[in-house]
Structure 1
Amino acid sequence: MDLSVPREHGPIGIRLIRQRDARVLQDHLMSNRAWLAPWEATSPDGPVSLDMRVGVRRLLQQYRDGGGVPFVMEYEGNVAGQLNVWGIARGSLASATIGYWVAKEFAGRDITPTSVALATDLCFTELRLHRMEICIRPENAASLRVVQKLGFRYEGLRRRYIHIDGDWRDHYAFALVREEVPHGVLARWVSGQAPRHAADVPEADRRG
């Protein structure tokens, strides 16, 4: 299994992050502060460094340790953002969580849903995971559209779940298990067969 080989669909692809990606990722993070800051993980212990050289080294160490798989998302060969598979659990759980960000100049081109579909399919087939989860702030309309398009199933409201933008934030949890997509997430979406209302949030949870 060679995760360094890009997985692609049309002009969009994901590949394992490389140390030399740090510079372009750093440039995206700095030029997209207003766009990304409301959705970025922070620390209750104080400011977190945005030095991507350090960040990429840590991500690759987690990959070597088996705890995650860090990807870059590309559009026509250009780095458009990051997608991280993290919290990989083996054994009887066999699950992981997906997180992502895309630079504003690449938004609106289906880069994120395509990349999430590619990554989920890879996790189900090559990594032999059973369940993939995505957790999203209720205010993040763009990210909610990703799970709606792909037919991720809504699983519930998690109160003050992750420290984001300086405070503990509520998140909606969405998931898929391998049996739900026997032919793949990407193929199901592209063929128009993703369930339209799987990601619908009940009124009680929308009210908070």
Structure 2
Amino acid sequence: MTVARHRITTARLQLLAPDPAPAAGQARAVVDFFARNRAHFAPWDPPLPPDDNTPAAVQGRLVTGAAAFAASQAWRWWLAPADAPQRFIGSVSLSNLARGPSQSCSLGYSLDASAQGRGLMHEALEAVIAEAFAPAINLHRLQAGVRPENTRSLALLARLGFVDEGLARNYLYIDGAWRDHRIFSLSNPAFVAPPHW
């Protein structure tokens, strides 16, 4: 089995797979990332329980994430500036994997409030999309849900070639209420179906 790359390098970023080894320092970087951005993410993401952003809780999620990555069941990359790999400024994930005739997954992403407006998430998503459509992961379709009020995210997906498939009403419980989301998809034009699933 081929596995996805644990480190993807772009012009300005390093995308790093979960590494629970204490020497990697990822638990502290993740805790800092979410602590810095709690208010920034509140309108867009389900809230973390208060005790979920502790070093111990994050360490547990890194262990689980590393195992899922190694088993090719789900993938997350933490975004760090190329010159500061110990400071996380974002995350991109591929989850809810469906193999068989679907060959698809959900795309999720978040970016530090201080890193907005510089094209960093576009750069990261281009790299992850290429990885998702390459032989190691070999997906046919990516899907993302975005709140209609999140104009930056809507514009980002449009620039990346995602197709707006319509509105999913009351799609996710976020910020104290059920929220509508626009559903976007991107298909792999080079996907070659295997002879059997």
TM-score by length of 2: 0.81
Aligned pairs for 1:5-16 within 5 A: 5-16=6-17
Structure-1 separation of matches of 2:51 and 2:155: 28
Q: Is the 8 A contact 1:42 1:166 kept in 2?
A: no
Structure-1 separation of matches of 2:146 and 2:66: 24
* Paired position in structure 2 for 1:144: 154
* Paired position in structure 2 for 1:131: 141
Structure 1, residues 75-107: CA drift from partner, whole Å, max 9, x if none? 224321111110111111000111011111222
1:111 aligns with 2:123: no
Q: Is the 8 A contact 2:170 2:181 kept in 1?
A: yes
* Paired position in structure 2 for 1:39: 44
Q: Is the 8 A contact 1:86 1:97 kept in 2?
A: yes
Number of corresponding residues: 178
SS of match in other structure, 1:129: coil
Structure-2 separation of matches of 1:7 and 1:176: 21
* Paired position in structure 1 for 2:61: 55
**Cα RMSD for the two superposed structures:** 2.1
Structure-2 separation of matches of 1:30 and 1:64: 28
Q: Is the 8 A contact 1:67 1:86 kept in 2?
A: yes
**1:5: Cα distance to partner?**
4.1
Can you give the 5+ residue segments of structure 2 that lack an aligned partner in the other structure? 191-197
Structure-2 separation of matches of 1:31 and 1:9: 24
Structure-1 separation of matches of 2:158 and 2:119: 13
Q: Is the 8 A contact 1:73 1:111 kept in 2?
A: no
Aligned mate of 2:102, from 75, 93, 103: 93
* Paired position in structure 2 for 1:174: 184
Can you give the 5+ residue segments of structure 1 that lack an aligned partner in the other structure? 183-208
**1:138: Cα distance to partner?**
0.8
Segments ≥4 residues shifted beyond 3 Å: 1-5
Structure-2 separation of matches of 1:35 and 1:157: 24
* Paired position in structure 2 for 1:202: none
